[in-house]
Structure 1
Amino acid sequence: MLDLKWIRENAQRFDEAMGQRNSTVRAEALLRLDEERRSHLKSLQDLQSQRNDASKEIGRAKASGDAAKADEVMARVADLKSRIQDGEARERDLDARIAIFLAAVPNIPFDEVPVGADETDNVEVRRVGTKPSFDFKPKEHFEIGEALGLMDFDRAAKIAGSRFTVLRGAMARLERALGQFMIDIHTREFGYEEVSPPLLVREDAAFGTGNLPKFAEDLFQTTDGRWLIPTAEISLTNLVREEITEEAKLPLRFTALTPSFRSEAGSAGRDTRGMLRQHQFYKAELVSVTTAETALEEHERMTRAAETVLERLGLHFRTVVLCTGDMGFASRKTYDIEVWLPGQDAFREISSCSVCGDFQARRMNARYRPAGEKQAPRFVNTLNGSGTAVGRALIAVVENYQNADGSVTVPDVLRPYMNGLERIG
């Protein structure tokens, strides 16, 4: 959520940013509402002042024995009280309208983010590794998995419907191995604290990260009003909600390996075969909580942690910085990491790492106390990223390490997690 005072003082910059983000929101409508609220508050304060003066006048009239005067002023106080109650109701209504407006406004991109309309305007910043070469036509992961009898989409559909998969035997173990491998890198080499968080969250937690209300249709909701997490970002980021953290404890770095649940609303007809777009999948999530001064540096560090996973797996990938029109709602800058899939002959996203500034912190009221300063606490800055999506990493391993006989070679770094297994076949 953006700071209303900042919008008031930077209306032109706000409008430019919204245009860059393909948003129709403009400052004029919000500032008109804000001016109405401020004018109303002044009138309400005047009424309250009149009531206070009148209350004192009642005391003086009673003290002087002027009952008629006291009755007259008491009637005036009653009228003022009624008008004040009506005014307070209108104040609540105006506050709610402003809050609803601000809740739907996306974050402001950093100046360094490339301006563009959609994914075609994203900018590649680096490529790592090389494409594997095959002396046969490489297959897609679902063709390999089904032929091995280790990916079962038909039985999954009988159990849960479309966009679910049953993994069996060595393929199920490969999924588990990948997740553990990722968490080990993040905790041992990059200092993230492993967390086992709730998979169900309250509405205010999902609001805090910007998932609600804008993306309600992308989430699954339970009958008691809780929401299944679409990513552990929600649970991990909310660890600091409504708290003041000492600056000396920053940055906080959290990681979690959890299932994620997404309705995939609006994706009808897209990636219907295989595991690329599922309602349920595992992901190693990364979250950092820091200060504005160190947020961009932390962003590079987080992205490096995700890239390290792919490098160790020997996968070819590229990292792109998203343009203003392709960034997520809460982000100020985002790197997407896209892994090469030989079966598709294309790069596909496997990680997205974003720095959100104080956008989420304002929604969560998450602050920190600057070291050695007596001034009021400041809002923290939050970051989140995939480190990485386990299902997509499994797809990448299966497709990049496939053999002509339909088997899959297990990458060296995963063999300790696979009881030494060298080949799935």
Structure 2
Amino acid sequence: MIDRQLLRTNPDAVREGARRKRIEAPIDELVSVDAEWREATTLLESQEAASNRISKSIGALIGQGKEGEAEEARASAAKLKAELPRLQERERDLHMRMEHLELQIPNIPHPTSPDGKDSSENVEITSFGHKPAFDFDQLPHWDIAEKFDLLDFQRGTKIAGSGFIVFKGMGARLQRALINFMVDFHSKHHRYTEIYPPYLVNRESLIGTGQLPKFELDQYHMERDDLFLIATSEIPVTNLH
């Protein structure tokens, strides 16, 4: 989420960040709502302080025998307290609007990050190793896997729809072995702590990792419990901290 202080002191930097990311963000509206919210907060706190101050003075006035002034103080305190619910509701509504708008503002890209309209304009920073040259036509991995009966595309489509596959036989075994190898390697040699998180998370967790609200329509959602199926383990693991 964007830093509110940065938005207040340098909104042009936030606008430039959104422009570089080619995102239409409600920055001007957020600046306006933020100003309204701060004004409403100041007024609310002032009214609450005045109400408390007058209420505390009533006892002293009575003790001094100033019944008339005490009665006036009671009336003033009652009038201030009567206005508080309206002021509290306005402050709460503006704060909710501000939080909703903040979630639509992208983080500012690093100055060294190159601009680009899509992945075709990505800049290669470094590479590792050398791409091998073959003297024969290479098959894509899915053709090799199907040739050796490691994957079943037809049954994957049958039970789940287009884009899903079934690992079978040695294909399923290879999948399991690779997962176990990577988990064991990193936990034993790189001091990783193995985590087995829930596959479902709440709305706050997805907001915390930036999937919501922008990608809400792309999530698998259980409406009854307001839980979402995770896309990767980074979502629950990030929210552990």
- The TM-score bracket by the shorter chain reads 0.7 to 0.9
Q: Does 1:123 align with 2:123?
A: yes
Partner of 2:30: 30
Output the amino acid matched with 2:234.
E
Partner of 1:180: 180
Identity of aligned residues (%): 36
Q: CA deviation at 1:57?
A: 4.0
Residue pair 2:150, 2:169 contacting (<8 A) in 1 also: yes
Q: CA deviation at 1:113?
A: 0.9
Give, in whole Å, the separation in 1 of the partners of 2:138 and 2:66. Answer: 100
Q: CA deviation at 1:68?
A: 5.1
Partner of 2:240: 239
Residue pair 2:27, 2:105 contacting (<8 A) in 1 also: no
Q: CA deviation at 1:69?
A: 4.5
- Over the residues paired in the alignment, what is the CA RMSD in angstroms? 2.2
Give, in whole Å, the separation in 1 of the partners of 2:141 and 2:154. Answer: 15
Partner of 2:97: 97
Q: String of CA shifts for 1:194-228, please: whole Å, max 9, x gaps.
A: 22222221221222111222211222122422211
Give, in whole Å, the separation in 2 of the partners of 1:101 and 1:183. Answer: 39
Matched residues, number: 239
Q: Measured at CA, do residues 6 and 120 of structure 1 come closer, stay the same or move farther in structure 2, by a change above 3 Å? A: same
| Larger RCO: 1 or 2 (CA < 8 Å, sep 6+) | 1
Which runs of structure 2 are paired with 1:254-273 in the superposition (5 Å)? Answer: none
Partner of 2:150: 150
Residue pair 1:201, 1:235 contacting (<8 A) in 2 also: yes
Give, in whole Å, the separation in 2 of the partners of 1:7 and 1:185. Answer: 44
Q: String of CA shifts for 1:259-291, please: whole Å, max 9, x gaps.
A: xxxxxxxxxxxxxxxxxxxxxxxxxxxxxxxxx
Partner of 2:138: 138
Q: Measured at CA, do residues 23 and 176 of structure 1 come closer, stay the same or move farther in structure 2, by a change above 3 Å? A: same
Q: String of CA shifts for 1:395-421, please: whole Å, max 9, x gaps.
A: xxxxxxxxxxxxxxxxxxxxxxxxxxx
Q: Does 1:16 align with 2:16?
A: yes
Q: CA deviation at 1:140?
A: 3.1
Q: Does 1:47 align with 2:47?
A: yes
Q: Measured at CA, do residues 91 and 114 of structure 1 come closer, stay the same or move farther in structure 2, by a change above 3 Å? A: same
Greater helix proportion: 2
Residue pair 2:26, 2:105 contacting (<8 A) in 1 also: no
Residue pair 2:26, 2:101 contacting (<8 A) in 1 also: no
Give, in whole Å, the separation in 2 of the partners of 1:142 and 1:115. Answer: 34
Output the amino acid matched with 2:144.
I
Output the amino acid matched with 1:35.
A
Q: CA deviation at 1:64?
A: 4.6
Give, in whole Å, the separation in 2 of the partners of 1:27 and 1:217. Answer: 23
Partner of 1:113: 113
Partner of 1:79: 79
Q: CA deviation at 1:35?
A: 1.4
Residue pair 1:25, 1:105 contacting (<8 A) in 2 also: yes
Give, in whole Å, the separation in 2 of the partners of 1:2 and 1:17. Answer: 11
Higher Rg of the two aligned structures: 2
Q: Does 1:199 align with 2:179?
A: no
Give, in whole Å, the separation in 2 of the partners of 1:140 and 1:99. Answer: 47
Give, in whole Å, the separation in 1 of the partners of 2:45 and 2:74. Answer: 19
**Structure 1: which 5+ residue stretches go unaligned?**
241-425
Question: The residue matched to 1:125 in structure 2 has which SS?
Answer: coil
Give, in whole Å, the separation in 2 of the partners of 1:54 and 1:77. Answer: 6
Give, in whole Å, the separation in 1 of the partners of 2:52 and 2:193. Answer: 55
Output the amino acid matched with 2:130.
G
Output the amino acid matched with 1:124.
E
**Structure 2: which 5+ residue stretches go unaligned?**
none
Q: CA deviation at 1:122?
A: 0.9
Greater strand proportion: 1
Partner of 1:316: none
Give, in whole Å, the separation in 2 of the partners of 1:23 and 1:84. Answer: 39
Output the amino acid matched with 1:131.
P
Give, in whole Å, the separation in 2 of the partners of 1:236 and 1:132. Answer: 40
Give, in whole Å, the separation in 1 of the partners of 2:176 and 2:57. Answer: 77
Give, in whole Å, the separation in 2 of the partners of 1:109 and 1:61. Answer: 61
